[in-house]
Amino acid sequence: MDKIRKHLGIAIGTVIGLAAGFLYWKEIGCTSGSCPITSSPVNSSIYGAVMGGLGASIFKK
């Protein structure tokens, strides 16, 4: 149970980043297809998840 609590913040940040990456692709994304990250929903979502996890890990003690 302690391991779950230890990494819960990072998991939540990853899920929020995943959703944010997908929403960024859907609302703003690159329409021409020349942008390597924002032209694909998968790439945008993975990038958002990584950034969300890294951002949440800043607050880990």
Q: For 11-47, how does the pLDDT look when each residue is reduced to its tens digit (9 = 90+)?
A: 999 999 999 999 999 999 887 878 888 888 999 999 9
Q: How many domains, in total, are found in the chain?
A: 1
pTM for the whole structure: 0.85
Say whether pLDDT at 3 is over 90.
no
Q: How far apart are CA 41 and CA 27, in angstroms?
A: 11
Task: Provide the pLDDT for residue 47.
Answer: 96
Residues of the chain by 3-state class (helix, strand, coil), percent to 5: 70, 0, 30
Q: Which residue segment(s) compose the domain that 12 sits in?
A: 2-57
